[in-house]
Amino acid sequence: MLVVKCPVCGAEGDETDFHAGGQAHVRRPATTDPAHVTDEEQSNYLFIRINPKGLHFERWRCDRGCGKWFHAARDTVTMEFKAFYGITELPPADVIAQAKGQWAEYFANRLTSENKA
């Protein structure tokens, strides 16, 4: 059983009170540049997901509470939640530091692009 805690309303409960919403931080290419979306970008957006062994980032919904979406960092091996954070936020820095592989790459890119902007 997973015990989830909503960062919006603070409700803590069994996973059946919540709804898992798949991988977090998936960006729709057409949102930033609708005129120049390649087929590859679009198919990556629609179908390709990260499936790591270890630390993973997911979307969850406080289904039987406040009804808001939020993000969670979960270890897929131990099922342990590392952090819960807002839907518009990035994970806490110490959790980003633990990310490996594709996730580490993703956050590195994201942080560089945000620093540029």
Number of residues this chain uses to bind other proteins (CB under 8 A): 14
Report angle CA 103, 78, 94 to the nearest 5 degrees: 45
Indicate which single residue of 2, 5, 17, 110 sits in contact with other proteins (rule: CB under 8 A).
17
Contact set for other proteins, span 52-71 (CB under 8 A):
63-68
Q: Is 10 in the site for other proteins (CB under 8 A)?
A: yes
Q: Which is nearer to other proteins, 16 or 109 (CB)?
A: 16
Please give the structure tokens belonging to residue 18. 């919540």
Burial class of residue 4 in the structure, from the number of CB atoms within 10 Å of its CB (0-12 exposed, 13-18 middle, 19+ buried): buried
